[in-house]
Amino acid sequence: MLYSFLRPLLFRLDPEDAHRITLRAIGLAYKLGALKPLHYSCPRHVMGITFPNPIGLAAGLDKNGEYLDALSALGFGFIEIGTVTPRPQPGNPLPRLFRIPEAEAIINRMGFNNKGVDALVENIRQSNYTGILGINIGKNFDTPIEDAAEDYLICLSKVYPYASYITINISSPNTQNLRQLQSADALDSLLAQLKSEQQSLAHVHNKYSPIAVKIAPDLNTEQIATIAQLLKKHHVDGIIATNTTLSRQGVAHLALSHETGGLSGAPLTQQATSIIQQLQQHLHDSLPIIGVGGIMSATHAKDKFNAGASLIQVYSGLVYQGPDLVSEIANEVCNNSI
């Protein structure tokens, strides 16, 4: 309710300022006890984890894990933080975040702006959050793509003890050549190294943290088949579909659509659902799919579940609908036990 009053004000601000102000306001409200924690209970057992409900916060909104306690009060069944890189980095020059309100869309070319993996770990340690925590890891912009595995391995070992699951982000369009890691040979080699390190870490920490791979929506049917086959081969624990798209279909006529970056929100809904459907045809429930991309309503969420997703995540929908989106989806999904 409140958000429908706030949104016009926030939308007058520069998008990145609005993002920062909103997070700080939620954080402050939580600290002052003005945010009544919401809980939606419809448990799902996925990747060996029991999620209190299947609605998650997608990566990129809280890149450094600075707002875990406050965000958990919004009723999410899980929160994914990051993308985090081994070393801190500023990301791309401003401006790098754009709204296209006519299409309920966002374009971003943030470029993994984050405070580095050590700061993220410290933030987790300082928080009281005890819910399901996904930690999304990537590579620094100046690490050559041939050495990318090393960055993922550094992050994996540092976040491992704190993560309920770890997401390998190989699909951001804003780090040069990152998406090349989705190609067969590169992915085969990366997954072999990550799964071997996961085994060692499981032994050291006496705890198994599942690994999920996050893919782009801009993949053809052959590429999707290859990725699905490699995920099965390496016993990867889950797949997150999808990241933002390079396509401008449906928005090309609108102001700011020419901006470089990844497009998210309503124009991505069908494209992401179609990727989930195709994955499901290859995977046949052999590993779970976390559906994300253009979930702006409970109906969109149901479509993702019907396509084969076991869990879902939201980001742009929160910007356009506000936090009530979580309760709207929970009411629909939990009451009808989809």
Region near ligand FMN per CB under 6 A, out of 5-13, 66-74, 274-282, 289-297: 289-297
Q: Which of 332, 326, 331 is nearest to 55 (CA)?
A: 326
Residue type, 228: A
Determine the distance from the C-alpha atom of residue 48 to the mean position of all C-alpha atoms in its chain, rounded to a whole number.
19
Q: Applying CB under 6 A, does 162 fall inside the site for ligand FMN?
A: no
Spell out, one character per residue from 205 to 234, where the chain touches ligand FMN: x when CB under 6 A holds, - when not: ---------x--------------------
Nearest-angstrom CA–CA distance, 120 and 86: 10
Spell out, one character per residue from 40 to 69, where the chain touches ligand FMN: x when CB under 6 A holds, - when not: ------------------xxx--x------
91 C-beta neighbours (distance < 10 Å), count: 17
By beta-carbon proximity to ligand FMN, the closer residue of 102 and 202 is: 102
Structure tokens at 193: 């190294």
Q: Which of 190, 179, 258 is nearest to 217 (CA)?
A: 179
Q: How many residues bind ligand FMN (CB under 6 A)?
A: 28
Which residues is 211 bridged to in the sheet?
166
The strand pair at 262-265 and 238-241 is best described as unpaired
Stretch 7-46 residues interacting with ligand FMN (CB under 6 A): none
Q: How far is the CB of 34 from ligand FMN (least distance, A)?
A: 26
Region near ligand FMN per CB under 6 A, out of 64-72, 102-110, 117-125, 251-259: 102-110
Q: Which residue is nearest to ligand FMN (CB)?
A: 60
Structure tokens at 229: 């086959």
By beta-carbon proximity to ligand FMN, the closer residue of 109 and 234 is: 109
Given 27, 116, 210, 265, the residue binding ligand FMN (CB under 6 A): 265
Region near ligand FMN per CB under 6 A, out of 107-115, 150-158, 247-255, 303-311: 107-115
122 Cβ contact partners less than 8 Å away, ≥ 6 residues apart? none
The strand pair at 97-100 and 105-108 is best described as antiparallel
Q: Applying CB under 6 A, does 169 fall inside the site for ligand FMN?
A: yes
Which candidate in 72, 171, 172, 209 is catalytic? Answer: 172
By beta-carbon proximity to ligand FMN, the closer residue of 106 and 166 is: 106
Given 287, 314, 330, 334, the residue binding ligand FMN (CB under 6 A): 314
Nearest-angstrom CA–CA distance, 291 and 312: 5
Q: Give me the sheet containing 105-108, strands edge to edge.
A: 97-100, 105-108, 262-265
Spell out, one character per residue from 241 to 260, where the chain touches ligand FMN: x when CB under 6 A holds, - when not: --xx----------------
Nearest-angstrom CA–CA distance, 95 and 48: 41
Q: Which of 141, 88, 147 is nearest to 118 (CA)?
A: 88
Q: Applying CB under 6 A, does 295 fall inside the site for ligand FMN?
A: yes
Q: Which of 72, 75, 108 is nearest to 243 (CA)?
A: 108
Inter-residue contact 81 to 134 (CB < 8 Å): yes
By beta-carbon proximity to ligand FMN, the closer residue of 207 and 258 is: 258
Stretch 267-286 residues interacting with ligand FMN (CB under 6 A): 268
Using CA atoms, how far residue 30 sits from 26, 37, 72, 79, in Å, is 6, 9, 10, 16
172 is an active site residue: yes
Given 123, 136, 209, 277, the residue binding ligand FMN (CB under 6 A): 136
Give residues in contact with ligand FMN (CB under 6 A).
58-60, 63, 82-83, 97, 106, 108, 110, 112, 136, 169, 172, 214, 243-244, 264-265, 268, 292-295, 314-317
Catalytic positions are 172
